[in-house]
A and B are shown apart, each in its own frame.
Chain A
């Protein structure tokens, strides 16, 4: 690990004021310390924001739905009775991620900002990685890319967004509260992450010194009929090869509203709006679910080793939709 200065922030103001271009905020540290050991990330300064827990560590019901503080630990949210009962897709996405120890450490804010698990990104002995070193190329495109993305890819980067919780948030139309040098602002969750396009190293729309403080999740008739289905190489403690976050509002068999997030297959948390449109107003059957899944992956681009992903992704989505439709709530 490279040397760095460690500071502990007692107020949001001091955290923001101390933030420089080479600063990282430290919350759970489960991604950051790992990548610092690998020398993939080399911040000169860490600002420990854990002392802000009293301010940003609560789960609250609000008039519009739920408000989840950014410093809530994954395990705490996953075990929360309101999330489990009324927003199961959120609780499941958290609970199917990582391990119990990591879930005790990692925070919700840090979770959505976790970096990709692309092996070329994580190993600096490979020179080419546009995410790590802008302009250096992409070793994955012609390399081993079994776990890489098929949606939202560019000629510069095909690294998969590794998280699960973000797919649930994007499906539920969550928003993100941010505080920073210019004050507080709120953005839609689907505006937080950037597609790799020409600049894979720019992963979010957060400005320097901006800190996520909370996620707001609107309630609705679809939140109870929701689930997260995650397909992995092993049954637990593994990243998704494909996953689907689905939430349905179904009345007399007909779909009033459908919200779909896809994971393990895309470079960013992915909202499958084309698939949602196909389902609206239809009776959910194997055939309509299949049509939605076809639409979701219509623009998939696979490489040498991940050609299985569009089909795995379609089957994952179909199974998730059919299971959600059959839930007794």
Chain B
């Protein structure tokens, strides 16, 4: 944040601090277990692989995979939309399967994670699905797009992209408020065709 100016991100984090300090007393720090037989539950060491990189992080048991990616690892591609598993903006791949990072506890992640940041090659070449989304103009505001793209890659891999109707059904977990749906469907069909060709 530059001196004397307030950018959006700075404003949001300042608001969060204010909320944590007084208005939301329930967000207490993690407790330690009262049961002497249990390991100290306040903080958990978590080792996880994200986009091919190994990370060691100590987390509160409440930490979701989404918050860990965004706040601990700085990977802000996965978006927080509803935070309740209803919008799909936080979709990432865990062990190659599409899941919702907002309903996944970081402590329970046992397989490799792929986010939108891990799709392009090291030389910057985009994944065919990213390429197809650009070519078909499959987004407007872009907020749902990282989740759409990861969901779309999994949709093709699961072999549930055989018709427009099937793509629509198997992409129903990703909501787009701009309603770019027709072009999202076209992009997925195009990427599937290209991968198979």
Task: Give chain A's interface residues, CB within 8 Å of chain B.
Answer: 1-8, 18, 26, 29-30, 33-34, 37-39, 45-46, 48, 50, 75, 79, 98-102, 104-105, 236-237
Contacts and interface: CB of A to CB of B under 8 A. Distances in A.
Contacts of B155: 100
B103 A30 contact: yes
Nearest to B154: A100
Contacts of B84: 34, 37-38
A33 B88 contact: no
Contacts of A8: 107-108
B182 to A, nearest CB: 16
A156 B158 CA distance: 44
Interface residues of B, number: 42
B91 A6 contact: no
B105 A33 contact: yes
B110 interface: yes
19 contacts: A4-B61, A5-B41, A6-B44, A6-B107, A7-B41, A30-B85, A30-B100, A33-B104, A34-B84, A45-B33, A46-B61, A48-B105, A48-B107, A50-B110, A79-B158, A100-B98, A100-B154, A101-B91, A104-B97
Contacts of A37: 83-84
Contacts of A105: 99-100, 103-104
A5 B38 CA distance: 9
B170 interface: yes
The secondary structure that dominates the A interface is: mixed
Given A6-B44, A33-B64, A34-B85, A101 B151 contact: yes
B137 interface: no
Which of A48, A79, A98, A237 has the most chain B CB atoms inside 10 A of its CB? A237
Which of B61, B110, B170 has the most chain A CB atoms inside 10 A of its CB? B61
B162 interface: no
B8 interface: no
Contact of A3 (B62, B85, B173): B62
Contact of A50 (B99, B108, B169, B172): B108
B31 interface: yes
Interface of B: 26, 28-31, 33, 35, 38-39, 41, 44, 60-62, 64, 83-85, 88, 91, 97-100, 103-105, 107-108, 110, 151, 154-155, 158, 160, 168-174
A236 B108 contact: no
Contact of A99 (B31, B35, B64, B88): B88
Nearest to A28: B103
B38 A18 contact: yes
Which of A3, A29, A45, A50 has the most chain B CB atoms inside 10 A of its CB? A3
A49 B2 CA distance: 48
Nearest to B61: A6
Given A100-B160, A101-B151, A26 B31 contact: no
Given A29-B105, A236-B172, A5 B110 contact: no
Given A3-B28, A26-B108, A30-B103, 4 more contacts: A4-B31, A48-B108, A100-B155, A102-B100
B104 A100 contact: no
Given A6-B41, A26-B105, A29-B108, A1 B172 contact: no
Contacts of B154: 100
B150 to A, nearest CB: 9
A29 B173 CA distance: 17
Nearest to B31: A3
Given A26-B108, A29-B105, A33-B64, A104 B98 contact: yes
Contacts of A30: 85, 100, 103
Query: 8 shortest A-B CB distances, which residue pairs?
Result: A99-B173, A5-B41, A6-B61, A236-B172, A237-B172, A3-B31, A5-B33, A33-B103
A71 B42 CA distance: 27
Nearest to A238: B172
A39 B110 contact: no
Contacts of A75: 97, 158
A101 B62 contact: no
A104 B64 contact: no
Nearest to B95: A104
Contacts of A98: 173
A106 B2 CA distance: 45
